[in-house]
Amino acid sequence: MIPYVTEWPVKIGSYGVMIAVGFLTGLWLLSRDFRRRNIDPKHAETTVFVAIIFGVLGAKLAYMFTETDNPTWGDFFSGSGLTWHGGLILAALAVIAYYIAKRLPLLVMLDAVSPGLATGYGFGRVGCQLSGDGDYGIPCSVTDIDYSLCMSYDRGIVPTSDIVHPTPVYETFMNFVLFAILWKLRKRIRHPGILFGVYLIGSGFARFGIEFIRQEEGRPYRFWGLRDAHLVALGQVVVGLGFCAVALLRKLPKDQEYGILPAPVAATNAAGRPRKR
């Protein structure tokens, strides 16, 4: 475990570092794909900024109102207590609202964002593994097929000497595989919206499955033996199927085939020559 990169003169946690790596990687991937799609890369910077602000806000609020009995403003300003699905939902709504306000082609934009979502979540789980922040699995049994991967987190921020499933490792692997699939498919899918649907379906199934071997951590069960994360993951799958259906059924705009927008026309001067910028 490496809970902190440095503790003096300023304490810097490994989880925070990996979150920053995830956002910076997402920004690089998004800027690159926006250029390929003839979208102004400045929108990539705003997308990531909006996702950071509303992702952290949503994750904190979801933790306070779904996982604590008596939330206080002290909980809001503390450095711990973030719930994944709260950040996902609020950040997604904020980013979509930005795209609509700017009159950008929503399905094309969401397709471009998809690979970065997978890598961002993967790097976040690397941070969970390094810091040992309590996102552990249930104790392992010697009969488990992956027992050799199980480990203890006795030096983590939330220490445990139990031999448990390293669920952050599992989720990191699944999300990087999902990224590879999305990155490979992004140039091959003719209808905008399908790639984002594939992301939602893949990440939803991955999180739904992993939640069965995650420790409860005080998170309440709602019904049918499912927790909030189960339900949100199932919701992702349903929404993802909806995106795929809409993308296939709607008439494909001629200027959005394969998610590539028309190249911007260069401004010209009175002599008909391109203006210098």
Give alpha helix (H) positions in 67-105: 73-76, 84-101
The whole-number average pLDDT for the span 166-191 is: 96
Phi, psi of 132 (to 5 degrees): 60, 55
pLDDT value, residue 69: 67
Q: Three-state SS for 152? A: strand
Q: What is the DSSP letter of 251?
A: P
Q: Would the pLDDT of 129 be above 80? A: yes
Q: Three-state SS for 31? A: helix
Q: Where are the domains of the chain?
A: 4-187
The closest alpha carbon to 40, from 30, 48, 49, 26, belongs to 30
Query: Greater confidence, 269 or 197?
Result: 197
Percent of the chain with pLDDT over 90: 65
The closest alpha carbon to 22, from 84, 106, 65, 86, belongs to 84
Alpha carbons 25 and 118: distance in angstroms, whole number: 11
pLDDT in tens, 205-221: 999 999 999 988 767 77
Alpha carbons 43 and 46: distance in angstroms, whole number: 5
What DSSP element (H or E) covers 227? strand 226-227
Q: What is the DSSP string of 99-110?
A: HHHTT--HHHHH
Alpha carbons 183 and 25: distance in angstroms, whole number: 14
pLDDT value, residue 219: 72
* Residues 34 and 104 sit within 8 Å (Cβ to Cβ): no
What one-letter code names the amino acid at 56? Answer: V
Query: pTM higher than 0.75 for the full model?
Result: yes
β-partners of residue 153 are 160
What DSSP element (H or E) covers 163? strand 160-164
Residues 6+ apart with CB under 8 A from 95: 47, 50, 51, 54, 113
